Amino acid sequence: MDTLLTTRSRKIAGLIALFLFFVAGMICSIAFGVTNISWRTILLSYTEFNGSQEHLIIQNARMPRAFIAAAAGASLAVAGALMQGITRNQLASPSLFGINAGAAFFIVVGSAFFGASGMSAFATLAFIGAAFTSILVYVLGSIGNDGLTPLKVTLAGAALTAFFSSLSLGVLLTGGQTFDQVLYWFVGSVAGRDMNIFSAAAPFTAIALIGALFLARHMNVLALGEDVAVGLGQKTIYIKLAAGIIIVLLAGGSVSMAGPIAFVGIIVPHLTRYLVGIDYRWIIPYCAVLGSILLLAADIGSRYILFPKEVPIGVMTAIIGVPFFVYIARKGGGTLNE
Amino acid sequence: MSSIQAKNLTLSYGQKAIFSNLDLQIPAGKITVFIGSNGCGKSTLLRSLARLMKPTEGSILLDGSQIAKLSSKEVARKLAILPQGPIAPEGLTVHQLVKQGRYPYQSWLQQWSHEDEKLVKKALEVTHMSELSNRSVDSLSGGQRQRAWIAMTLAQNTPTILLDEPTTYLDMTHQIEILDLLFDLNEQENRTIVMVLHDINLACRYAHHIVAVKNGRIHAQGEPGVIMNKQLIRDVFDMECQVTADPLFGTPLCIPHGKGRKLATPLNKAL
């Protein structure tokens, strides 16, 4: 596999260029939408907020939307890269750890039996559900003498995903109520959330992203295989545990902010490896920026594809993601025992 | 030079004991080879010496201290292990792989030093991998790939190197190439080499010390010329053979019985 950016200086330049793209994406996400708002009004909404409808759209709808898209994209991409490293399975992504199914299940149960409603309540439930399920997957995947193995964790994730999905559907079907809100959440979207949802998740996301950067060097060693890593003096159990916690924070934070958004966790790490190779010290920052750009772009696109109606972002990423997924699978990236 | 010793070692998978109460001293500065039939436990024993497997009882002593009580990085600065059939991630270059050998010397404060760079360069030179250092490991031939991994263990700069079947799946040329490399490392740098080999004749040719393992016991150990005979092969491998002297080195050469075609015309003397 030849990478595009071979030298250190090119990689740095690439990262800076992507960061500028990211900033441009943020600005576009705030500037463009169904309601046409002038640049001057946008600026004024920051400097001299007057409570007009246009200012409200910028501050209460588009701002949180842009920040959530960026944070969720970065989180999903970095979580995906770490998962693919830990499981040595190139098709791994947050849904593999049962994170989305667990989050969905908690929301369904919360709204069916405990009257939870509204995006803030859903965000909390989703995070708890994601954390609970991934811990369960982690524990199930670690049972036995050989500890956490790629195959066991994949099986545990698949089993729990099926289990929680069935339970969720069961509750939805027998509940007899309509769960419009819940169904809307199921698709994954960054629209209709307020800034509080972002602010609640942001500290966890930030800590986890910084943690991932520190973990990068150790991930490089773990990628050589368990035995080699132990031989080089790595306490692999701690590295896997740290990676697991970071994955939970990132994927849990993302699902709580934006619902289950598929494929970003698979596409972006692959794109990144194509650009910078397999050194996690580059993969992590590139994934963060590229993931943000992808979700920002998908979200902006979702406003125009059926204009003036909006397509949920989860549908957008699936449309891009499925052909990509098939392509990777055909390349043979799914081998577990590599 | 460092010493490795197993004391009262019991190794088991689940409930099943592989070795019980085993004592073993690895001679320092020598090449030691474990031989034995498939599944006899020789790889398990080697892995336990490198703390890849925890003993249920007893201990491994590295320079007199219990390996389990030393920090894992400290062990990695004294002893390198090349596991059986390691697989590099797709796209990893030889240079990137060899650099990982410096992991036990790095910390938050100490990242990449001049010393690290020097030892990586030397490891590449010794294994004749310098020219291939920018190639990705998965694009190399089997022998080159194995040399790249050995270069990684050399970059660890340890007095002792353990290798689990370093020649498996290699053709004869590459087997000799790898073993010659290890031979030189022992001769020129006085490193202690411990490895598992399947080929008894190559084991006899390269080893100072042979450890013959059978059913979780050490059946015999010593210099190849002293311990190797028909009876040992019969006991350890359950095979009849004739032992003669290797025409090149005079080391024991086992010729198995079993079936075979007799030549109609005698071999040309000039051969």
The CATH number assigned to the domain holding A74 equals 1.10.3470.10
Strands (E) located in B63-184 = 65-66, 79-82, 160-164
Mean pLDDT, to the nearest integer, of A204-215?
Answer: 96
Q: What CA–CA distance (Å, rounded) separates B226 from B46?
A: 23
Q: Which of A220, A231, A235 sits opposite B83 (nearest CB)?
A: A231
Q: Does residue A332 surpass a pLDDT of 60?
A: no
Tell me, yes or no, if B235 comes closer than 8 A to chain A by beta carbon. Answer: no
Q: Among B4-13, B18-27, B102-111, which stretch is predicted with the lowest mean pLDDT? A: B102-111
Asked if residue A137 is part of any domain, the answer here is yes
* Residue A310: predicted pLDDT: 83
pLDDT band of A335, cuts 50, 70, 90: very low
Q: Considering chain B, what is the average pLDDT of its residues?
A: 92
Give contacts of B77 with chain A, Cβ < 8 Å. Answer: 233
Give contacts of A227 with chain B, Cβ < 8 Å. Answer: 47, 52, 81, 83, 86
Mean pLDDT, to the nearest integer, of A189-193?
Answer: 83
CB within 8 Å: B91 and A231: no
Taken in order of first residue, the domains within chain B and their CATH numbers are: 1-78+158-271 (3.40.50.300), 91-157 (no CATH)
Q: How far is B59 from chain A (nearest CA, A)?
A: 17
Short-list A333, A221, A230, CA closest to A281: A221
- In chain A, the number of structural domains is 1
Q: How far is A228 from chain B (nearest CA, A)?
A: 7
Asked if residue A231 is part of any domain, the answer here is yes
Written as six digits, the tokens of B60 are: 């491994």
Asked if residue A62 is part of any domain, the answer here is no
Q: Does residue A2 surpass a pLDDT of 70?
A: no
* Residue A262: predicted pLDDT: 80
B165 or B16, higher pLDDT: B165
* Residue A269: predicted pLDDT: 93
Task: Order the strands of the B4-13 sheet from edge to edge.
Answer: B16-26, B4-13, B57-62, B65-66
Q: Any idea what DSSP says for residue B9? A: E
Q: Does residue B271 surpass a pLDDT of 70?
A: no
Written as six digits, the tokens of A169 are: 């559907």
- How would DSSP label each residue in A5-16? --SHHHHHHHHH
Q: Does residue B169 surpass a pLDDT of 90?
A: no
Q: Using the CB atoms, write b or e for B45-64: b if 16+ within 10 Å.
A: bbbbbbbbbebeebbbebbe
Per-residue pLDDT tens digits for A8-67: 889 999 999 999 999 999 999 999 888 888 888 888 888 888 889 889 999 988 999 999
Q: Where are the alpha helices (DSSP H) in chain A?
A: 8-31, 39-47, 53-56, 63-87, 99-113, 119-142, 150-175, 180-187, 195-222, 226-231, 236-258, 264-276, 280-304, 313-331
* Residue A176: predicted pLDDT: 59
Asked if residue A108 is part of any domain, the answer here is yes
- A-facing residues of B in 9-28 (CB < 8 A) are 13-14
Helix H, strand E, coil C: the string for A169-204 is HHHHHHHCCCCHHHHHHHHCCCCCCCHHHHHHHHHH
Tell me, yes or no, if A235 comes closer than 8 A to chain B by beta carbon. Answer: yes
Q: What CA–CA distance (Å, rounded) separates A334 from A338?
A: 9
Domain that holds residue A115: 69-331
CB within 8 Å: A278 and B92: yes
Q: Is A140 exposed, middle or buried (0-12, 13-18, 19+ CB in 10 A)?
A: middle
pTM listed for this prediction: 0.88
* Residue A336: predicted pLDDT: 38
Asked if residue A288 is part of any domain, the answer here is yes
Tell me how far CA of residue B202 lies from CA of A130, A226, B72, B175, B183, in angstroms: 55, 29, 32, 9, 12
The continuous run of DSSP H or E covering B151 comes out as helix B142-155
Q: Considering chain A, what is the average pLDDT of its residues?
A: 87
Angle between helices A119-142 and A236-258 (to 10 degrees): 160
Short-list B103, B52, B51, B47, CA closest to B77: B103
Q: What CA–CA distance (Å, rounded) separates A62 from A299?
A: 11
* Residue A330: predicted pLDDT: 76
Q: Does residue A338 surpass a pLDDT of 50?
A: no
Tell me, yes or no, if B107 comes closer than 8 A to chain A by beta carbon. Answer: no
Q: What CA–CA distance (Å, rounded) separates B88 from A277?
A: 13
Beta bridge partners of A269: none
Tell me, yes or no, if B91 comes closer than 8 A to chain A by beta carbon. Answer: yes
Asked if residue A27 is part of any domain, the answer here is no
Q: Is B240 exposed, middle or buried (0-12, 13-18, 19+ CB in 10 A)?
A: exposed
Q: How far is B237 from chain A (nearest CA, A)?
A: 28
Tell me, yes or no, if B238 comes closer than 8 A to chain A by beta carbon. Answer: no
Asked if residue A234 is part of any domain, the answer here is yes
Q: Which of B13, B91, B100 sits opposite A221 (nearest CB)?
A: B100
Q: Is A324 exposed, middle or buried (0-12, 13-18, 19+ CB in 10 A)?
A: middle
Asked if residue A251 is part of any domain, the answer here is yes
With pLDDT > 70 as the criterion, what percentage of chain A qualifies? 96
Radius of gyration of chain B (CA): 20
Written as six digits, the tokens of B61 are: 């002593």
* Residue B58: predicted pLDDT: 92
Mean pLDDT, to the nearest integer, of B10-24?
Answer: 88
Written as six digits, the tokens of A234 are: 């790595």
How many contacts does A have with B, using Cβ atoms within 8 A? Answer: 69
* Residue A1: predicted pLDDT: 46
CB within 8 Å: B136 and A221: no
CB within 8 Å: A232 and B76: yes
Short-list A217, A82, A86, CA closest to B108: A217
Q: Which of B13, B96, B104 sits opposite A232 (nearest CB)?
A: B104
